[in-house]
Structure 1
Amino acid sequence: MAEQRAQRRLAAIMSADVVGYSRMMQADEIGTLDALKKRRTEVLSPLVTKYQGRLVKVMGDGVLVEFTSAVNAVQCALDLQSDTAKANEPLPSARHVVLRIGVNLGDVIVEAGDIYGDGVNVAARLEALADGGEVCISGSVYDQVKRRLDAAFDDLGDKTLKNIAEPVRVYRIRPLSEGYTPGIADPAPPMLPAKPSIAVLPFTNMSGEREQDAFADGLTEDLITELSRNVALFVIARHSTFAYKGRSVDVRQVARELGVRYVLEGSARRLAGRVRINVQLIDAIGGDHIWADRFDRSLEDVFAVQDEVTNRIVEALVGRLTKLPPRNRPTSLEAYELCVRARPLLANFGGSAEAIRESHILLTQAVAKDPNYAEAVRWLAFTFWALWSFSIESPASKRAASLEMARRAVALDPNDAGNHWVLGYLLAYEHNWAESDAAFDAAIRVEPNHADTYAMRSELVLWRGKTDEAMGLIEKAFRLNPQPAGWYFWLLGMAHYAARRYEAAAEVLRAELTYRTGSRKILAASLAQLGQIEEAHREAELFLANNPRFSVVGWANAQPAQNRATVEHFADGLRMAGLPD
């Protein structure tokens, strides 16, 4: 019999194993083995076939798969993580099968159907570097897939791997359509997007006068808005960066927590009709200062300075400058400062009656001083709607005035995403679905990084019965705004409830930022659907203490809903929780 000779070939190797396998076996050996067998049959094998791989061997809790294509290997790994997570959804957490996966492209030795060599060893070491639910790939794989997959890559740098002679460049990877699961306590830090990503920290007020804080905050917010309009950038929303205001922070930690590579820091000093602005752009991963500059101008030139700083950032990170149509700027600095003071009062959508009334007064004054200041007109429209919607002042004239003013804001400045989404949201309450959709489309087209647009649209999509699409939108909003206002959690909880994921809904709606707001009624409904009737009734009673005029029928009729079945699903839970019909 002729001796079988070993062969060498280049292959893409996927190595995967189960996190916590020993613990699972100790708790339930037969159940664990059955679960793994089922996953291999129903999830792994179809994917290996789909992506033209070869299952080399099964090793207890692990598998080794060979592919002729690096793209196929990585896409198989991503789909394997996604499909495994979906298979876990109906199971208690103790029975979840969680994978970690490594993919390498390298030379392998083939012998008797098995494969050996450094190509395999590196894949196994990459797998060990991955956390549960993650895929880690080598630099050789990255070079092959970076422009061929709709994915985000997090560069972990060169890693020294056990028994591997030279360091290996390592990347974490995930589909762009996937984010980390938002709203759950202590989430893993979000991964870096594929495009240049930046967070603008609140500018420090160097004037020594607290009343100038609003001016420094306004500069920061407007820079974020201008950067967010650039489709080539990924820009973190204002609410998340302002969580660091007044804190001494390490920009590297900020970058990790927000999932960005670049951080902009700045300060502003306003004195005697002039303003001095210092800025520095930092590569938080590489540790380098990209550039720093100081601007000393008259106060009237402050918006020109904002544009100049924005252009410098775009040129530094993207390498080219796309001229965008200008936004409407106020002609009155006093009107601008009144509007800036109103912004944080409106940041928590559905906030207190006091905040809505105060912001309404400030914005009324701002519009009186500058009638063509589009942002002030837009927010004033929103306060008119809020006064009516939250029954603070009930005349229908408030509702009509809000819509008229929102249309005016768009006419004054069609290049501001906020104007479009406010109009789109109000139009949905008029059941003008087509024009509402067009307004939200315009908002995303004008400012593709506008987190609030995705969040607000998620609610309207949910009321159409499109639960998966709604979840995708709110998850995108969370990624752009990882430390959001409480109403984001409210919307996420509603999306979980609509998808009948009541445990997830209850967990999200217990978040401190949203717990004592109107979202409490959805928490009560979620608990009722879980059969936790006593606790559901308690939460419903606490909700009614602050909302004594609430009725299920009145609430259901007020929703901007196209799909009545979705509304009735919520109404059923509210009634089960003991809320009055």
Structure 2
Amino acid sequence: MTAERVQRRLAAILAADVVGYSRLMEADEAGTLARLKTLRVDVIDPAVARHSGRMVKLMGDGALLEFASAVEAVTCAMEIQKQVAEFERAVPADARIRFRIGINVGDVIVDGDDIYGDGVNVAARLQALAQPGCIYISRAAADQVRDKVPVGIESLGSQSVKNIARPIEIFCLVDAAAQDRPAAAAPDRAEPAKKTSIAVLAFNNMSGDADQEYFSDGISEDIITDLARVAELHVISRNSSFVYKNSPVSIRQVAEALGVRYVLEGSVRKAGNRVRVTAQLIDAATGGHAWADRFDRDMTDIFTVQDEITQQIVAALKVRLTRTETDRLFGRHPANVTAHDCFLRGREQVWLHTRTGNINARAQMARVIEIDPAFAAAYALSAFAHINDYINGWAANPAEALATGLDLARRAIAMDESLAEGHFVMGVALLWSRRPDEAMAAVERCIALAPSSAEGLLLRAHIEMFTGRPTRSIETIDAYMRLDPVYPEIALQFLAEAQFQLRRFDMAAETLRRRLERNPDAPTAYALLASCYGHLGRIDQGRSAWAQVQRTDPGFSIERRRKMLPFKNPADFELRVEGIRRLGLAD
């Protein structure tokens, strides 16, 4: 009796798996499975068929494929990585499906429809070593495809791997490694790891008077504003860093949550005409102090203290300032301490995002301007309050509120062209005046002056959505969320609007549900959610969402929003109306 002969053949083997599969499933099991199914039907299976490949088996979060040619295997892998990145671009960065792929050419043992052996094992080991979104190939595969595919091949050296007797030389397809990075990266879209990262916590009010909280907060915010102007720094926004005010969490925990290396904390004691400011810069990696100091001064010297703190931080972080940055950072404070105090009080009111806060802020800015008519930032903040009245429907005469805001923004910039906040407010005013191209120019100037302006990035994302560039909008929101990781729920509305514009209605609906978990009384979220459900054919859920619109805002009007929302292409708004119409709820 003779032994059964083992069948072998030479093949190109592609092994792939989903990065962070368990985390994705834990966060959204149904949604992840649905997206994976869509990717297989719309992207993977067609690519495999085009390149004469065979799906050997699916293994939960992975797949094994066989090709007769290394060129076909590599070309197929490149197409899959590119198309998956494009397909998932509308998804927040931390929730995207990404693949690792390994390819080897070798001898395989055939067992029915299955294959196994060292040829398969090497492909699997390469896949396990690959970076997310990348394709790693073996020396055998590299020799077969070099100069035959339009991609760079870079050697990563040899490495010993489990269950393979000899070290394997690893090659990376360079273009594939770049697929997951946004194209045409502007400086603010760069990964923050390339910059020195810092969060400035709210300074403790040690004055024994709770009414002085605005002052200690204001000192902290002024420092954030100054540091945000430095191109080499990644500065966390006030919104996120102030979350830890009066919180017992450790500096290391804060740094991990905000994604920074350094944390600045301090205190302010104000007594009569004297002020004491202490500050310490902590390296979260070691827990040690990179710098610390105490300043005992007259109140009239408070601006000098802020300049000295900023200078010391920049020096401790070994950041190189350009001459322009130095000119913008130092010695440009208001001349009048009383005017500055009123400004801090008013700015605190604006952050309340209420009608009363807006009224109080405008009153404080009027006093600032009366004391110091050249206080440019006061004009900008007053402009912002007027525009907020227009956007939120708080103004008795909306057109007048918007026109006033635009005029005040112009005056702020005329007084100080280097005031990033002035260009930001100008961008908001121009957007709502239906002048989106001019609005984009204004916000780009804002970001050029203050690269860590989270507000500037969020405004740019909104302009990109209104001008029909939802993919770019989502990329900008990703960059914004790195600067404001504890972002407000309105950011989820902006993200959902961009996803909706890409016709990713299921994804937009999930984002809107996340917003509504944080704010169950947001009529704009319910309205867009209803439209999503209409497009998805989920009629009962859509009508239920529309009922919530009526509950939270009985005066909600589609026609008013059609006239107000500054879409460059009216068809983008009509896509929203069509979803409502499918519910039988719009004329």
Q: Shared fold by TM > 0.5?
A: yes
* 1:10 corresponding residue in structure 2: none
What's the secondary structure of 2:427's corresponding residue? helix
What's the secondary structure of 2:365's corresponding residue? helix
* 1:169 corresponding residue in structure 2: none
Q: What is the CA distance between 1:207 and its match in structure 2?
A: 1.6
CA 1:273–1:496 in structure 2 vs 1: closer, same or farther (change >3 Å)? same
Of 521, 542, 562 in structure 2, the residue corresponding to residue 536 of structure 1 is 542
Residue type of the alignment partner of 1:560: P
Q: What is the CA distance between 1:339 and its match in structure 2?
A: 2.8
CA 1:460–1:101 in structure 2 vs 1: closer, same or farther (change >3 Å)? same
* 2:571 corresponding residue in structure 1: 565
CA 1:423–1:18 in structure 2 vs 1: closer, same or farther (change >3 Å)? closer
Contact 1:192 1:261 in 2 (8 A): no
Q: Give matches, 1:259-270, under 5 Å.
A: 259-270=259-270
What's the secondary structure of 2:407's corresponding residue? helix
Describe the superposition over 1:22-52 as per-residue Cα deviations: whole angstroms up to 9, x where unpaired. Answer: x99xxx9xx99x9499738738999xxxxxx
Residue type of the alignment partner of 1:448: P
* 1:194 corresponding residue in structure 2: 194
CA distance in 2, matches of 1:242, 1:436: 29
Of 30, 34, 47 in structure 2, the residue corresponding to residue 42 of structure 1 is 47
CA distance in 1, matches of 2:287, 2:162: 27
Contact 1:234 1:449 in 2 (8 A): yes
Describe the superposition over 1:514-569 as per-residue Cα deviations: whole angstroms up to 9, x where unpaired. Answer: 44234232233223323333333333333234433332122111122211111211
Q: What is the CA distance between 1:572 and its match in structure 2?
A: 2.3
What's the secondary structure of 1:193's corresponding residue? helix
Q: What is the CA distance between 1:576 and its match in structure 2?
A: 4.4
> What RMSD, in angstroms, separates the aligned Cα atoms of the two structures?
4.6
* 1:482 corresponding residue in structure 2: 485
Residue type of the alignment partner of 1:505: A
Q: Give matches, 1:359-370, under 5 Å.
A: 359-370=361-372
Contact 1:229 1:447 in 2 (8 A): yes
* 1:151 corresponding residue in structure 2: none
CA distance in 2, matches of 1:177, 1:566: 24
* 1:519 corresponding residue in structure 2: 524
What's the secondary structure of 1:326's corresponding residue? helix
CA distance in 2, matches of 1:291, 1:372: 35
Contact 2:439 2:463 in 1 (8 A): no
CA distance in 1, matches of 2:199, 2:430: 32
* 1:371 corresponding residue in structure 2: 373
CA 1:111–1:426 in structure 2 vs 1: closer, same or farther (change >3 Å)? closer
Residue type of the alignment partner of 1:210: A
CA 1:370–1:78 in structure 2 vs 1: closer, same or farther (change >3 Å)? farther
State yes or no: 1:219 paired with 2:219: yes
Q: Give matches, 1:309-348, under 5 Å.
A: 309-323=309-323, 324=325, 325-326=327-328, 328-347=332-351
CA distance in 1, matches of 2:285, 2:79: 29
Of 377, 381, 384 in structure 1, the residue corresponding to residue 383 of structure 2 is 381
* 2:210 corresponding residue in structure 1: 210
Residue type of the alignment partner of 1:508: T
Of 445, 448, 452 in structure 1, the residue corresponding to residue 448 of structure 2 is 445
Contact 1:423 1:436 in 2 (8 A): yes
CA 1:518–1:358 in structure 2 vs 1: closer, same or farther (change >3 Å)? farther
Describe the superposition over 1:468-496 as per-residue Cα deviations: whole angstroms up to 9, x where unpaired. Answer: 11222222211211112232122112111
Contact 1:489 1:514 in 2 (8 A): no
CA 1:231–1:209 in structure 2 vs 1: closer, same or farther (change >3 Å)? same
Moved more, 224-233 or 336-345: 336-345
Describe the superposition over 1:189-242 as per-residue Cα deviations: whole angstroms up to 9, x where unpaired. Answer: x98622211111111112222112111111111111111111111111110111
* 1:186 corresponding residue in structure 2: none
CA distance in 1, matches of 2:506, 2:277: 48
Describe the superposition over 1:333-377 as per-residue Cα deviations: whole angstroms up to 9, x where unpaired. Answer: 3333333333344336xx443333333333333333333222221
CA distance in 1, matches of 2:106, 2:259: 43
* 2:308 corresponding residue in structure 1: 308
Contact 1:417 1:447 in 2 (8 A): yes
State yes or no: 1:413 paired with 2:416: yes
CA 1:174–1:82 in structure 2 vs 1: closer, same or farther (change >3 Å)? closer
Residue type of the alignment partner of 2:485: P
Residue type of the alignment partner of 1:402: G
Of 508, 511, 519 in structure 2, the residue corresponding to residue 505 of structure 1 is 508
Contact 2:100 2:127 in 1 (8 A): no
* 2:554 corresponding residue in structure 1: 548
CA distance in 2, matches of 1:43, 1:258: 41
CA 1:402–1:320 in structure 2 vs 1: closer, same or farther (change >3 Å)? closer
Contact 1:311 1:321 in 2 (8 A): no
CA 1:394–1:134 in structure 2 vs 1: closer, same or farther (change >3 Å)? same
CA 1:558–1:382 in structure 2 vs 1: closer, same or farther (change >3 Å)? same
What's the secondary structure of 1:281's corresponding residue? strand
CA 1:460–1:217 in structure 2 vs 1: closer, same or farther (change >3 Å)? same
Describe the superposition over 1:273-315 as per-residue Cα deviations: whole angstroms up to 9, x where unpaired. Answer: 2222222222222433222222222222222222222222223
What's the secondary structure of 2:333's corresponding residue? coil
* 1:51 corresponding residue in structure 2: none
What's the secondary structure of 1:484's corresponding residue? coil
Contact 1:268 1:278 in 2 (8 A): yes
CA distance in 1, matches of 2:349, 2:63: 53
CA distance in 1, matches of 2:350, 2:82: 37
Contact 2:90 2:471 in 1 (8 A): no
What's the secondary structure of 2:434's corresponding residue? coil
Contact 1:420 1:440 in 2 (8 A): yes
Contact 1:279 1:292 in 2 (8 A): yes
Structure 2: runs of 5 or more not aligned = 1-13, 67-73, 109-116, 137-160, 165-176, 184-189
State yes or no: 1:239 paired with 2:239: yes
* 1:183 corresponding residue in structure 2: none
What's the secondary structure of 1:561's corresponding residue? coil
Describe the superposition over 1:58-81 as per-residue Cα deviations: whole angstroms up to 9, x where unpaired. Answer: 99746799xxxxxxx9xx999976
* 1:17 corresponding residue in structure 2: 17
What's the secondary structure of 2:317's corresponding residue? helix
CA distance in 2, matches of 1:296, 1:249: 28
CA distance in 2, matches of 1:79, 1:316: 46
Q: What is the CA distance between 1:450 and its match in structure 2?
A: 0.6
CA 1:217–1:508 in structure 2 vs 1: closer, same or farther (change >3 Å)? same
CA 1:86–1:368 in structure 2 vs 1: closer, same or farther (change >3 Å)? same
CA distance in 1, matches of 2:480, 2:519: 16
Residue type of the alignment partner of 1:532: R
CA distance in 2, matches of 1:577, 1:37: 28
Q: What is the CA distance between 1:380 and its match in structure 2?
A: 0.9
Q: What is the CA distance between 1:174 and its match in structure 2?
A: 9.9
CA 1:101–1:191 in structure 2 vs 1: closer, same or farther (change >3 Å)? farther
CA distance in 2, matches of 1:295, 1:567: 55
Q: What count of residue pairs does the alignment treat as equivalent?
A: 493
Residue type of the alignment partner of 2:334: P
Describe the superposition over 1:108-164 as per-residue Cα deviations: whole angstroms up to 9, x where unpaired. Answer: 9x9979989xx999967756xx8xx68799xxxxxxxxxxxxxxxxxxxxxxx9999
